[in-house]
Each structure stands twice: as structure tokens, then as C-alpha cells.
Structure 1
Amino acid sequence: MLKRLILIAGSSSSSDEPSARGTPLLSPAEKAALSREFPGVEIDAPCPPGNAPHAAVDARAWRASQLDLWALDTHLHALDARGLFDLRLQGLEREGAARTAYEVLTRCQRFLRRRNVASATAVFARVLGRHRELYELDRPLVRADYDHAIDVWQWMLRLDPRASVAAQAAALFHDVERLVSEANVRIEHRAADYQAFKDEHARRGAALAGAALAGVGLPPEVLDRVGALVASHERPGDDAELALLNDADALSFFSLNSAGFLDYYGPEHTRVKVAYTLRRLRPEARALVPRVRCRPEVEAMILGEPRRASAPAPAETQA
């Protein structure tokens, strides 16, 4: 679990000690804002003595979109499996330090495992345990789906810190059907009828979620609500919790999945996905997209897509 963000000024180096700096990289207001956005992480922590478990991110490579995200994720997964770790953001300049810290923490937020009153319970710990049991993390697409599920959950709590236990469980289990249909290769972009494929994905996912959650201790009415949210998550409507799930799902695509999506599908299909996902976002959630670091190709697609009220289902995409 990520516990400390250590900010290091100046040129990146192999040194374990922060570079000397005359002024703080973050103002008190910036530090407070990051602490509110990412509770549980010590922001701008002092660098500990010795060689504490940590990952290092070069700020210049990050801002230039030249960082090897696959290698970073592999390292973070290994650290997380062993316990608490630090993230060292090095090579920073005062200007832009807060934004870079925000972007990197957003990319790494699945290692925070933020909870609220509804999910800081023994029952929800069993929900998380049951969810984890479903995933064989040595399979790349399964790992990607697991990371996405955790990231959607974390986005949900950022968007609504009071999210219900049903909404949080639905965030975790909304794409569980992929473990059956797309664990080895993605197929939905080949579907003749995209919306029918996605509706079936949601319907089957609701049944799988209900079966997985049986016996963890959630009340029947909560289980029913989780099933309803998962069953409808491909057709968001006026339901506030469904819209929240949809916003969190869409933001996770941009912050966590879009680079890998581009590599997997190529630019043409990614452009379709970007347009569709932007149109699914409510205005207040779409306003957060410019604060997310995406690859330049994806950023260009975002800038080229006009704002619209709703999105018809494209012939091919992946949620």
C-alpha cells in the first residue's frame, strides 16, 4: 500500500536523498489540497534514511509522456504485494510540481485503497477478499481488469466520499463478466451489435456478482442493489448511483487504461472509444479529464471531440 509521496527537486539521480532546494515544492494550500484528494498518503514526506521500499518516477519523463508505464506498474505491484511503500517523484521544479503530483497519484490511486464509513467494515473486507479471489493476476488481461476495478472504486470515492456500500461493491464487480468472456483476448470490438453485446455483458455480470457476493454478509437489499447497478451499468440513466458508477468507470479509462487501450487496439478504434467515453461523462466529471495525464495521441483525440449531451453506442468499443 502506498503510504508516502516524497518530492525531490532538481535533476533526477540515483541518490536516496532529496536534492537541496531553497523553497518548498508545494505551497501549504497545494499540499492541503493533495492531502484532501488523496487521504491516507503523507504528502511531501521527508525521505527516510536507508533504502525503504519505494518506486521512483522521473517527473520530466512523466510530463513528456516518456515513462514506461508497464515497467512502473510491474514494480508497484511487486512493492504492494510486500506491504507499505513510498513513491519518490524526482526531478521536480517548483512550477508544475503540484499538478505532476496530482497526476501521478491519480495514476497510482489503486494502491491507496481508500474507504469511507460504509466500506470500513469487516463485511466490506470480505467483499474485497471475495473480489480478489476471482482474479488470476499472472494473466495480463485479468490483471488489467482487476486494476481497473480497484481504480473505478477509488474514483467513485473521490467523486462522492459518501458513496454507499452497494455502489462501491458495484464498482468492484461491474466488469466481472470479462473473467468469463475476455480473460485471454478481447472480443467485444468484433461484436456485430455492440449494444446487445454490452447489455449481455452487464446482465451476466450481475448474476456473477450476485453469486460471488453470496455469503459475505451483505443484507439482501444491498445485494439486490448491487445486482441492479451492475446489470444497468452499460445504459446509465437518471439514477444518481448509476451515473456515479458510469463517471468513475469513464475516468478510470482515461487515467489508467487509455495508454494500454491505444497499444492494444490502435488509434482508429481508440478514437471511437475516446469519443464514446467523453459523451458518457456528466459535465462535472468531464471537467476533471484535463487534469488526467494521457498519452499525447489520446490527448489530441480528447481535444478534437466536441461536448455532447449523450452518446449513441458505437459499432465497436471497449468499456
Structure 2
Amino acid sequence: MIRQLLLSEPDLRAADAQPAPSGAFVLLAEEFPSIAVGPPASASDANVLRLDAQAWRAPGFDPFDWDEHVFGTANACPEGQCLTLNLTGAPREVLASTALEILTRYQGLVSRRNAASEGPLFDAILARHRALHDMSKPLVVADYRHALDVWQWVLRLAPRADVALQTAALFHDVERLLSEPDARVEHHARDYQAFKDAHAARGADVACELLADVGMDKGTCERVRWLISRHERPESDVCLTLLNDADALSFFSLNASGFVRYFPLEHTRRKVAYTLGRLRPNQRWRLARIRLAPQVRRLLEEALGAVTLPTTLQESA
């Protein structure tokens, strides 16, 4: 898990060792309150991964290229030890804003929890969820990372989210482990919305059975079932809306780079438009803090059409 972020500013003076509590640092503290931010001298962990901010911000950069390096380093940490990210190569404010994008992509490694998800029940839920995934299969690995990422997005959007919403975030795509562990088939569907609705309905039933096995009460199980069964269609229910927002944001922040490499262009174009439609307009500003692969950004701009992109989305390219 990531617990610490070190920012190595070029020619950093000792008097400037502590980040100023303004600008991007405020955003970092708000979005990732569990991450300790400081200069290299404050390192408290032997597992330090050095990352170059200039490489991340270079024109044409695809964040997919970093995934196996970052995830692999985190997975290689000895049990019980955490990973520290050391970001280098830019002035302080640029480092902080870049760190926000990097932590957003790898927030599944942050694993924040709240009062509803602390304790033995959620420990059992997480363990059961992890055990479902055959990590020798690349598509299953992608599904697992996406599930953790959606969970973390839920907690960013709703820090007091209840256990049903958090569990639904984790298990919302569990049906894919049965239907698509080795190859995706969604691009062959004649009716894409009907395909997604069937995926949601089947996944809801599977999740409810699994959760009953770990001791979740029937009422909460049924709430999770309801959320998963409808998670492909935004409705007026507050929790369902949050789940849709989190799922859509996770697609853009984590999955889109791999998606465009795996699927034909026309299906990727349809997926981008479909996912944008699930994201509430008042949450689109968050796209400005996501590092998108160039082709994904072009498709997103195309899907937005006449809607003005946040200026920082252009500045982050």
C-alpha cells in the first residue's frame, strides 16, 4: 500500500523543505488525507519508488506504460511494509499537481477505509473478493484493479459511504469473472445497453450469494444486490448515482488506456460516449485531474462535442 509521497524539487533549499499549505498541496491533502507528503529527508520506508514527473507530463505519454512498474513494485513489497513514491524532476507546485494525477491512477494501492468499512466484516469481504480473482489472467487482474479503484472513487466522492455502497463498488463487475476472464465479448453485442443490463443483473445475484457466505445480513445483501443490478443505469437514488460516477471516473482514470489498446477504435469511441453519459455533468471537472492517453483524450473531446473541456485538461497534456 502507498502511505507516503516524497517530492524532490530541483535545487531544493533546506529552508523550503516543507511544502507550502496552498494550491496543489491543499488538493492533495483533501483528496488523499492518508498520504504523508514531505521532502526526501522525511522517508520512513525502505520501499521507495522513484518516478519522473517530466516523463509523466511529456506530450504523448500514456500512463498505461507505468502500470506494471508501479503495481509490480507495490506487489513486491514484503508483507506488512508499504510503498513510498518519490516524485522528481519539476518545481514544487508542478510536482504536487502531478502527484495528484499519479495517486489518482494508483489509488487502489492507497486503500482508504472509513468507519463503515473498518472491522472484521469488511476484512472478510475484501478477502473473499480477492480470492475470486485468478491473478495469472491479465483481464482478471485488470478487473481486480478496477474494482478496488471504483471502491476508492466512492470514498473520495462520499467519505461517509455506507457498507452497502462500498461493497457494491467492489463487486459491481463480479459477473465478468464468469463470462469474460479470458477474452472480452462486449464489442460483439448487438444491443450494448441490454448486454450491460444483463451483466449487472447476473452480477448482483452472484455477489449476494458470496456476501451471505461471509456473514453480511440479509437487508444489506439485498441493498447491494439492488445497487449492482442497476449500476449501468443512473437513477435518482443517491448511492446509485455515486456508484455510476465512481465507475465512470475509474474508466477514464484507470481503464481507458488499456481499453483503447484492446478493443477496436469504434467500440472504444462508443464506450467513451457511453461512460461519459453515466458521469454527472457536475463531476466532469474531475476529468481535468486525470492523465489520459492521447487517443482517449481525443475521443473524450469528440464525445463532449460543444461542451467546453476544463482548461486544466489541456494543460496536463
**If the length of structure 1 is used for normalisation, what is the TM-score?**
0.88
Q: Letter of the aligned partner of 2:275 in structure 1? A: T
Q: Deviations over 1:42-89 (max 9, x none)?
A: 112544679811222211110112562243244234235643111111
Which residue, out of 260, 263, 277, partners 2:261? Answer: 263
Q: Letter of the aligned partner of 2:170 in structure 1? A: L
Q: Unpaired segments of 5 or more residues in structure 1?
A: 11-18, 310-319
1:283 aligns with 2:281: yes
The answer to whether the 8 Å contact 2:121/2:216 transfers is yes
Write the distance in 2 (CA, Å) between the matches of 1:176 and 1:49.
Answer: 38
Partner in structure 2 of residue 75 of structure 1:
72
Alignment partner of 1:168: what SS? helix
1:115 aligns with 2:109: no
How many positions carry a matched residue from both structures? 301
Partner in structure 1 of residue 5 of structure 2:
5
Partner in structure 1 of residue 139 of structure 2:
141
Partner in structure 1 of residue 194 of structure 2:
196
Q: Letter of the aligned partner of 1:247 in structure 2? A: D
The answer to whether the 8 Å contact 1:148/1:256 transfers is yes
Alignment partner of 2:89: what SS? strand
The answer to whether the 8 Å contact 1:131/1:173 transfers is yes
Deviation at 1:95, TM superposition (A): 4.5
Q: Letter of the aligned partner of 2:285 in structure 1? A: A
Q: Letter of the aligned partner of 2:32 in structure 1? A: F
Write the distance in 2 (CA, Å) between the matches of 1:21 and 1:106.
Answer: 28
Partner in structure 2 of residue 63 of structure 1:
57
Structure 1 249/296 Cα, relative in aligned 2: closer, same or farther at 3 Å?
same
Q: Letter of the aligned partner of 2:20 in structure 1? A: S
Q: Deviations over 1:126-152 (max 9, x none)?
A: 111111110111210000000000000
Write the distance in 1 (CA, Å) between the matches of 2:116 and 2:44.
Answer: 38
Deviates more, 1:176-185 or 1:133-142: 133-142
Structure 1 5/195 Cα, relative in aligned 2: closer, same or farther at 3 Å?
same
Q: Unpaired segments of 5 or more residues in structure 2?
A: 308-317
Write the distance in 1 (CA, Å) between the matches of 2:94 and 2:73.
Answer: 24
Structure 1 300/80 Cα, relative in aligned 2: closer, same or farther at 3 Å?
farther
Deviation at 1:25, TM superposition (A): 8.2
Richer in helix (by share): 2
The answer to whether the 8 Å contact 2:6/2:39 transfers is yes
Structure 1 28/79 Cα, relative in aligned 2: closer, same or farther at 3 Å?
farther
Deviation at 1:172, TM superposition (A): 0.2
Deviates more, 1:198-207 or 1:61-70: 61-70
Deviation at 1:98, TM superposition (A): 2.2
The answer to whether the 8 Å contact 1:176/1:209 transfers is yes
Deviation at 1:21, TM superposition (A): 4.0
Deviates more, 1:298-307 or 1:198-207: 298-307
The answer to whether the 8 Å contact 1:103/1:292 transfers is yes
Which residue, out of 33, 37, 40, partners 2:31? Answer: 37
The answer to whether the 8 Å contact 1:123/1:217 transfers is yes
1:184 aligns with 2:163: no
Structure 1 153/92 Cα, relative in aligned 2: closer, same or farther at 3 Å?
same
Q: % of aligned pairs identical?
A: 47
Write the distance in 2 (CA, Å) between the matches of 1:192 and 1:80.
Answer: 44
Structure 1 123/50 Cα, relative in aligned 2: closer, same or farther at 3 Å?
closer
Write the distance in 1 (CA, Å) between the matches of 2:26 and 2:93.
Answer: 17
The answer to whether the 8 Å contact 2:45/2:84 transfers is no
1:27 aligns with 2:24: no
Deviates more, 1:94-103 or 1:181-190: 94-103
Structural mapping, 1:144-163, within 5 Å: 144-163=142-161
Question: What do you get for the CA RMSD once the two structures are aligned?
Answer: 2.2
Structural mapping, 1:88-99, within 5 Å: 88-99=86-97
Deviation at 1:178, TM superposition (A): 0.2
